[in-house]
Amino acid sequence: MEVTTHDLVVIGATAGGLSVAEGARRAGLEQVILLERGDSVLMPEVISRNDLQIAYGEKVQSIHYDEAADQVEVVTNRRTRRATACMIAEREYSATASAPIETPDSDRVTIDNPPVAVQGADVMVVGVTDHAVEISAQLASAGANVVLAADGLEPVRLSPIAGEMLAKLERERQATVLYRSSPNVIGERDGYPMAYFADRRTPDLEFDHIVFASSRGPADIDSLGVTPEARASNAVWVFRGAKEDIGMSGAFGPDLWPSLAGARFPDREIAQYGVRSWSRDTTLESELAEHFYNATITHFEPTHSDLWRLRVRPDHGDTSHQPGQYATLGLGYWEPRVDDANDIDIDSKWLKLIRRSYSISSPMFDEHGYLADHTAGDELEFYIVLVAPTEDNVPGLTPRLALKKPGDRVFLGSKVAGRYTLAPVVDPSRTCIFLATGTGEAPHNAMVTQLLRKGHRGPIVSAVTVRQWADLGYRAEHEDLEARYPNYHYLPLPTREPDVPKTYLQDVIRDDGFATKFGVALDPATTDVFLCGNPAMIGLPEGDPPEWPEVTGVVELLTEKGFKLDRRNDPGNVHFEEYW
């Protein structure tokens, strides 16, 4: 049998195995080879950029240790490979793995077994490990629309290549990652799995398939034929995801390769993101931006210094959405702030992204003066207010976003279909009332425009409370709509203007203000009400049994008038979207 010689043999081209191989090459090892029993690798660029050797279809039969030569001998189905050391990075498949929550008995819900034919299919992967990221990447490469539900996922806990793989999925908008959401119930509707989430911000989602990624353990060394002498040596290691495994310190170092004495092994945190620099300088910042950012700001229009309308064009994917849905914007903690606040624990966050979800807004007219069509074009518009720091909260994103201008780069997440849409409005004669605080009117702008474009005949009212007239970024367009469409009414309510009586949305509901001002009755039999913005304005009941909040909100007042709150699996005519 042919014998070849190497510095390091890595068994298994998993994300962990690739991380170890890349770390070894960067540390200075010349002859590093990966043995992969399959016929492909999810991140082939790791192979090419590190000039790694890889042997596909090569299965390990036994691993010995030659004490006289101080070498490991890896015997495969094709040849014998001798090396100073080897790392076993394969993972063990478990036939007894189970989902952490109860699931329906369906071949559309599986454990560690992703479907094969997924082109155009909606697939959710549930998990927080390298394995979950690898399954997501596998499905995305096969053409699936992937959502990774990963409540509690910290990228730094992944191997560096898994972290890079995750960032690529997001950067290229191939997957939506829910960092703070995992399903607590899996149901079934018309034969398809339904994922239900405990948090309000994540809508119930229907999928073609759901795959749970188990936390698989390292490979069973007995199945690889590791001899007792090899186990006892300092030259055979099993990848377990520990820092020393990835950083090549401890497990590998000058004790095994004297030529590497004094070599700089990549820092775990920085290697996580695939960048080449090891210090905080402009080179690292630009590499991080290139690594994470996937969209360009095309329009940045300040209504005033603390309030902006901006548009973003993604590098990948389309911008299709339903009026009322939201997308995620992000910037790195390495970006400068407009204020002098200090981010809490900035050293541990410096290499990370700050992500926030914002409802997608819409210009009401296109460049020709016609009603804007949200389905046209390749950009998304957002309406964002600068959040000032307080003793209890140091905002991360908006103080950095405030310094941006057209042409600057940002992160734009893949779209998640939110529930706050016009789906309940199927009768064009119904009354539609939109109530918002501040930038909570963003989704209503798109919704109002969509209704008018579709020829909605019933009354439409959009009311918004702000502090001052200057806080109404869309005022002129609303007034233009009023002039053009007799069934559309706009009610701006500035609460801190000296010549305007202080009126809140609750006051308008109590006093039947829409009927008085516009002749529009709040009739629960014919009306849908949409609420977006400050939770205190909305005023949802809480607890079990539910109790109304101390400050009366709009929901309580509407309920007294016979309206019903729209809940999951219990439709109503009061729909809401809280902003924090």
What are the DSSP calls for 198-248, one per residue? SSTTSPPEE-SEEEE-----B--TTTTTB-HHHHHSSSEEE--S-HHHHH-
Q: What is the average pLDDT across 94-122?
A: 89
pTM: 0.82
Residue 1 has pLDDT above 60, yes or no: yes
pLDDT (mean) for 95-105: 85
Q: How far apart (Å, rounded) are the C-alpha atoms in residues 10 and 251?
A: 13
Give mean pLDDT, residues 376-396: 92
Locate 340 and state its tokens. Answer: 């002098």
The pLDDT, as a whole number, for residue 263 is: 55
DSSP string, 71-123: EEEEEESS-EEEEEEEEE--B---TT---SS---S-TTEEES---S--TT-EE
Band (pLDDT 50/70/90 cuts) for residue 580 is low
The answer to whether the 3-92+219-271 and 293-412 domains have the same CATH topology is no
Other Cβ atoms less than 10 A from the Cβ of 169: the count is: 22
Q: What angle do CA 456, 462, 463 make, to 5 degrees?
A: 165
Across residues 190-203, what is the average pLDDT? 84
Q: Which residues pair with 329 in a beta bridge?
A: 356, 412
Q: Which of 197, 239, 212 is nearest to 136 (CA)?
A: 212
For the chain, the domains span 3-92+219-271, 109-212, 293-412, 431-578
The β-bridge relationship of strands 353-359 and 380-385 is unpaired
Alpha helices in 485-530 (DSSP H): 505-510, 513-518
User: Percentage of the chain surpassing pLDDT 70?
Assistant: 90
Largest CA distance in the chain: 97
- Residues facing 376 on adjacent strands: none
Q: Give me the mean pLDDT over the 446-459 stretch.
A: 96
If one compares 92 and 82, the residue with the highest pLDDT of the two is: 82
What confidence tens digit (pLDDT) does each residue in 213-265 have? 987 666 677 788 999 999 888 888 888 765 445 544 444 556 677 766 655 54
**CATH number listed for the domain at residues 293-412:** 2.40.30.10
Average pLDDT over residues 123-129: 95
Digit-coded pLDDT (tens) for 17-34: 998 898 888 878 899 999
Ranges 55-69, 143-157, 296-310: which has the least confidence: 143-157
117/580 Cα distance (integer angstroms): 39
- As a whole number, mean pLDDT of residues 50-78 equals 94
The mean-pLDDT minimum among 72-81, 171-180, 210-219, 463-472 falls in: 210-219
**Could you tell me the pLDDT band of residue 73, with boundaries at 50, 70 and 90?**
very high
Overall average pLDDT of the 121-147 stretch = 94
CATH fold label, 431-578: Rossmann fold (3.40.50)
Q: Please tell me the predicted confidence (pLDDT) of residue 277.
A: 40
Least confident of 61-65, 273-277, 441-445, 470-474: 273-277
Domain at 109-212: CATH code: 3.50.50.60
Is residue 461 over pLDDT 90? yes
Which CATH fold topology does 3-92+219-271 show?
Answer: FAD/NAD(P)-binding domain (3.50.50)
Quote the pLDDT of residue 259: 67
Report, as an integer, the average pLDDT of 168-193.
91
Q: Are 481 and 364 in contact (CB under 8 A)?
A: yes
Rounded to an integer, the average pLDDT of 263-288 is 54
